[in-house]
């Protein structure tokens, strides 16, 4: 019985593997419509809880940059600027983008803000929310099976514990937050470059945010991200590809003027 249950779960998990935009294998099996609905509900709640900015300059800037980036992805996206001094931004399944006024004032130019928006849209394109939800569901199901396996010394018990127990803590869930953030960095850099924004400004932005958080509580946006040195190294390694996309965009006449 235990072997049958585990076999069904393994088959389910293997059939749910997809490939992210960067070529990474992902476990994604939650219905997209359900994930989108969760994003829509969360965004509606935020609009009720947080004051929405009426600053026409901020709204024009945010919509101009987000519009240029999301034209590269397709779909209709809603962009809302929230009156919040903390430098933060986010994107949710269901094509929703939220930007704090604190992020707008922190960025020196349109390209730096484009780096943030591209990064957040990258999370949505890579289905990171679905991946997290799928992982949590798989772990919860796995723990139930592990609890049902009364003989952990057997090969089946050891397999279950390794794949769904200890493996879930140290090999599946724990490292993924930084993997997601690094992946969103790469996707976001390519997106901003395709839209005609200078990807070199992404490095300037992360350096600026790192300086802004020194001596204070870490900025929420940076809390789960790779260290600054790691991020800069990864972005620099990816820069030749992004610059190629940027030059192609410039040649195609994609030169946003959102400032």
Structure confidence by residue, pLDDT tens digits, 22-36? 777 767 777 788 888
Active-site choice (72, 120, 181, 183) = 120
Q: What is the pTM of this model?
A: 0.77
Least confident of 81-85, 129-133, 188-192, 255-259: 129-133
Mean pLDDT of 101-111: 95
Are 83 and 101 in contact by the 8 Å Cβ rule? The answer is yes
Contacts of 73 (CB under 8 A, 6+ apart): 121, 125, 191
Q: At what angle do helices 110-125 and 56-70 cross, to 10 degrees?
A: 50
At 164, the pLDDT band (50, 70, 90 cuts) reads very low
Does the annotation count 120 as an active-site position? yes
User: Model confidence over 200-210: pLDDT tens digits?
Assistant: 999 998 888 77
Most confident of the ranges 4-18, 77-91, 139-153, 162-176: 77-91
Give the residue with greater pLDDT, 188 vs 142.
188
Average confidence score pLDDT of the chain: 77
Task: State what percent of residues in the chain have pLDDT above 90.
Answer: 41
pLDDT score of 60 more than 90: yes
The residue with tokens 């930084």 is 178
């Amino acid at each position: 019985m235990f072997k049958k249950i585990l076999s069904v779960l393994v088959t389910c998990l293997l059939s749910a593997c997809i490939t992210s935009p960067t070529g990474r294998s992902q476990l994604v099996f939650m219905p997209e419509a359900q994930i989108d609905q969760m994003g829509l509900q969360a965004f509606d709640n935020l609009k009720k809880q947080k004051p929405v900015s009426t600053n026409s300059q901020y709204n024009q800037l945010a919509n101009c940059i987000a519009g240029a980036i999301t034209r590269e992805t397709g779909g209709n996206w809603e962009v809302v600027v929230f009156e919040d001094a903390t430098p933060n931004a986010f994107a949710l399944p269901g094509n929703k983008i939220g930007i704090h006024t604190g992020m707008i004032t922190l960025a020196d130019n349109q390209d730096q803000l484009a780096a943030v928006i591209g990064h957040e849209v990258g999370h949505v394109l890579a289905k990171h929310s679905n991946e997290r939800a799928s992982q949590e569901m798989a772990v919860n199901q796995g723990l139930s099976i592990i609890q049902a396996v009364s003989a952990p010394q057997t090969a089946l018990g050891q397999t279950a514990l390794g794949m769904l127990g200890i493996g879930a803590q140290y090999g599946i869930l724990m490292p993924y937050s930084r993997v997601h953030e690094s992946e969103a960095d790469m996707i976001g850099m390519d997106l901003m470059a395709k839209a005609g924004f200078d990807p070199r400004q992404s490095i300037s932005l992360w350096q600026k945010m790192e300086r802004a958080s020194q001596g204070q509580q870490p900025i929420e946006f940076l809390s789960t991200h790779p260290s600054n040195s790691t991020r800069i190294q990864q972005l620099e390694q990816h820069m030749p590809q992004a610059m190629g996309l940027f030059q192609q965009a410039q040649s195609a006449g994609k030169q946003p003027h959102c400032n």
